[in-house]
Amino acid sequence: MKIQNIKGGTDFLPKEQRIRNYINDTLKEIFIEYGYNPIETPILMYYDILSDKYDEENDILKEIYKLTDQGNRKLGLRYDLTVPFSKLIALNKNNIKLPFKRYEIAKVFRDGPVKVGRDREFTQCDVDVVGISGQMIEAEMLSLYVEAFKRLNIEIIIKYNSRQLMSGLIKECNIEEEKVSKVITIIDKLEKVTIDELKDYFREIEIEEEKIDKLLKYFTLSLDELNKEFAITNNENIIIGLEELNTLDDYLKALEIDGYCKFVSTLARGQDYYTGNVFEVYERNMKLSGSIGGGGRYDKIITNFISDGNIYPAVGISFGLSSIYELLKNDERFKSDSDVDIYVIPMNTKIESLKFANKLRNMGYKVELEMIDKKLKKSLDFANKEKIPYVIILGEDEIANNYFKVKDMFNNKEFEVSMNELEVIKEYIEKE
């Protein structure tokens, strides 16, 4: 048997996991500040719920990990946190007061291509709202994105678009309704492939040349140009799409975050469940090629799940922990290999050192106790290697004389503290 991880699965050692924990903690703090509540949903779901609303050719269905239980029921591993959230609302609609805002930080799974920042098992950090229509909540979510990445010290650009506008522009080219979804999928590739390659994709689904030319014309226009082009139109999708985008644009300018945001007419997001504006976040200097976050409005999933005649508007955004980790893993802020503040080394004083370490912990310090009788030099070498800032050697003399010395490992200094005045240690450490 060969011991190995599956492709797209990763072990994280303490130094790596500290960075991931920092990202999660930072995001959780912001989610709470913006009024979101915590939930947890199951990893396993019925396959028909995961696959609902998709045709068999959709890429997302190819990436679902499928399995069966002992009752031969078809199950799948969740591929995102949006569908599980929608299912949760449908099951608890009588116990939840709308609007309902939630956050969830949890594992999802996709059997897709593996690259830097994209694994097959990865953590998503999501916020979603059900019960609020319009662009005000969308603008607040983009504001949350900006604030979150500021705190993480990552420069970003947020790309945004409207699925309504995309559908409208495609229909404006007299393309059949049944091909709209496939055309959107191809249009989404425009920033990643050449024009010739894009045309070949269109030809594969039998789009005529004049329609291809018209598509390429419309999908290279700016928002201002689209507003002028369709100032007068009967195309309902275009009317709704431009209204959504223009309203969002007004909010972004009012919040003074429009400099972080860029309209991209070809942005679709992969999932067909999006019904309105969609968003993707990228590192501004392209240190990572893929997105580090994304989301959008999906007004039909929960509405269709519940199917009681009411509309359940919903919108959400997601942060990709793996991608963000890739950007931060070499950051100077995380050069330390340990979270420990003080390393206590007993010298024939194991019982006393156990009690002493607990006293320090009760004062708020993170303390590690040497327990395997290493030589003093090796213990000090360990503290240096782990970049632990302070060391206390607790020997029989220290216990007998009721004092100890604190070694400042970074500045090569020592200071003496009485056991009877343990609080004094705070003054020395805080001064340093």
Rounded CA gap, 323 and 20, in Å?
10
| Per-residue tens of pLDDT for the chain, all 432 residues | 999 998 989 899 988 999 999 999 999 999 999 999 999 999 999 999 998 866 566 677 889 999 999 999 999 999 999 999 999 999 999 999 999 999 999 999 999 888 777 789 999 999 999 999 999 999 999 999 999 999 999 999 999 999 999 999 999 999 988 888 889 989 988 878 888 998 999 999 988 999 999 999 999 999 999 999 999 999 999 999 999 999 999 999 999 999 999 999 999 986 678 999 999 999 999 899 889 999 999 999 999 999 999 999 999 999 999 899 999 998 878 877 678 999 999 999 999 999 999 999 999 999 999 999 999 999 999 999 988 999 999 999 999 999 999 999 988 999 999 998 898 888 878 644
Residue 334 CB contacts under 8 Å (≥ 6 apart), including other chains: 15, 18, 19, 22, 328
Write the DSSP assignment of 177-208 as a string of letters.
GGGHHHHHHHHTTTTTS-HHHHHHHHHHTT--
Token representation of residue 376: 């003093």
Rounded CA gap, 143 and 137, in Å?
10
Rounded CA gap, 359 and 369, in Å?
12
| 338-431 CATH, one of 1.10.10.10, 3.40.630.40, 3.40.50.800, 2.40.50.140 | 3.40.50.800
Domain with CATH 3.40.50.800 in the chain: 338-431
Q: 15 by DSSP, 3-state: which?
A: helix
Rounded CA gap, 204 and 64, in Å?
25
* CA nearest neighbour of 80 among 64, 58, 67: 64
Return the DSSP state at 421: G
**Per-residue confidence (pLDDT) for residue 334, from 0 to 100:** 81
Alpha helices in 255-310 (DSSP H): 301-306
> What CATH class has 14-328?
alpha beta
Rounded CA gap, 224 and 228, in Å?
6
Task: Name the helix (H) or strand (E) containing 158.
Answer: strand 156-162
Residue 24 CB contacts under 8 Å (≥ 6 apart), including other chains: 105, 123, 125, 321
Domain with CATH 3.30.930.10 in the chain: 14-328
242: exposed, middle or buried (C-beta count within 10 Å: 0-12, 13-18, 19+)? buried
**Per-residue confidence (pLDDT) for residue 394, from 0 to 100:** 96
CB atoms under 10 Å from CB of 422, counted, come to: 15
What number of residues does the chain have?
Answer: 432
**Per-residue confidence (pLDDT) for residue 430, from 0 to 100:** 64
Q: Is there a contact between 87 and 45 (Cβ–Cβ < 8 Å)?
A: yes
- E-assigned strands of 243-341? 261-263, 277-283, 293-297, 314-320
* CA nearest neighbour of 186 among 169, 199, 171: 199
- E-assigned strands of 213-323? 261-263, 277-283, 293-297, 314-320
**Per-residue confidence (pLDDT) for residue 432, from 0 to 100:** 45
State the pairing for strand pair 293-297/314-320.
antiparallel
Judged by phi (left if over 0) then psi (alpha if -120 to 50, else beta), residue 45 lies in beta
